[in-house]
Homo-oligomer: A and B are copies of this chain.
Amino acid sequence: MSPKTRTSSVQRPNLDELGLSMGKKVRLHRMLYEHGLKNGTLLILPIDQGLEHGPIDFFPNPASADPDFQWRLAIEGNYNAIALHYGLARKYMTKWAGRIPLVLKLNGKTSIPSDADALSTMTGSVDDAVSMGADAVGYTLYVGSPRQDEDFLQLQSVREDCDRYGMPLIVWSYPRGSAIEEKGGRDSLYAVDYAARVALEMGADIVKLNMPKHGSKDAEQPKKYAALDHSYEEGARRVVASAGRCLVLFSGGSKLGDEDVIHKAQTAMQAGAVGLIFGRNMWERPWKKALAMTKRMHDEVLSKYPG
């Protein structure tokens, strides 16, 4: 079920090590071993950007403004799951019901008000997820935000509902808010490393992280981090290690060229991630190119990292 051979440099935990209840194990197994490559890796297609950034994200590929585009891509591209908010599930899923696991995203916000005090509030519930046959829920936690206190409370309540129903919990663990911006910024190793650990401590089963990268504010990180002379690859490995027995998904971020996407994915998997959750890098490409990139992701990357 979860073979021990891995090619990544960091030991990726298998399902038996995650302290999972029966229901969580059933649902994660379904995503990891009964969909996609069925080899224990994950390729998830997220389409919550219409809420998070607005329709502007669909400008590079106007066809993508219709959520049916992403549903078809997820099905035809053989993804492990699609991740979106209640409305896009309720209105667009019926005809694909049962053909692909659903990750119901439970909280969100728009990009219109300032991010200084970021908090994403609920757009759905674990009950909604259960009633729609979802296999996991997604929750965005803004680590370091001045409103992190409210975020913890909200997440704890979601986590307890997940325990009740055996629903896997995926935490989008994002450093954010004015305090983070003063300590190296949201993409610094300090920030992402801390975010990985917080997700683990809060009880996430899977954590979605951005790849840490060097930036102009590196020196504003706490001294011990500012002093680290690490490569892009080492940064990725470090945050995967900090996530411990949380499986790690790396996100794709804004659109990159073909080889850069593949390189990012390789780095992520090499670092010990369980998989990728790439949205704009997929559906901002036209249909055929999106399918082709999906295939390359499967063939050139994910097939190399069975788990």
Interface residues of A (CB under 8 A from B): 17-19, 48, 50-51, 54-56, 59, 65-67, 84-88, 90-94, 107-110, 112-114, 119-125, 127-128, 143-146, 148-150, 152-153, 156, 159-160, 163, 175, 177, 179-180, 183, 190, 193-194, 196-204, 222, 224-225, 241-242, 244-246
Contact = CB atoms under 8 A, between A and B. Distances in A.
B65 A242 contact: yes
A65 B241 CA distance: 8
A90 B203 contact: yes
21 contacts: A18-B91, A19-B92, A19-B93, A19-B94, A51-B197, A65-B241, A66-B241, A66-B244, A86-B201, A86-B203, A109-B149, A110-B194, A112-B175, A112-B177, A112-B180, A121-B149, A121-B156, A123-B202, A123-B203, A124-B203, A128-B163
A197 B156 contact: no
B125 A156 contact: yes
Nearest to A54: B194
Nearest to A159: B86
A204 B50 CA distance: 15
A204 B87 contact: yes
Nearest to A242: B55
A143 B112 contact: yes
A113 B183 CA distance: 10
A193 B59 CA distance: 12
A87 B201 contact: yes
A141 B2 CA distance: 43
A112 B144 contact: yes
Given A85-B201, A122-B153, A242-B55, A113 B148 contact: yes
Nearest to A16: B94
Contacts of A244: 66-67, 91-92
B177 A113 contact: yes
A50 B201 contact: yes
A204 B87 CA distance: 7
A200 B113 contact: no
A180 B127 CA distance: 33
A156 B123 contact: yes
A87 B202 contact: yes
B112 A148 contact: yes
A72 to B, nearest CB: 14
Contacts of A112: 143-144, 148, 175, 177, 179-180, 183, 194
B19 A201 contact: no
A193 to B, nearest CB: 5
Contact of A90 (B19, B54, B179): B19
Contacts of A193: 54-55
Contacts of A241: 65-66
Find the residue from A55, A145, A194, A244 having the highest chain B CB count within 10 A: A55
Question: A-B pairs with the 4 shortest C-beta distances?
Answer: A112-B144, A54-B194, A91-B245, A87-B203
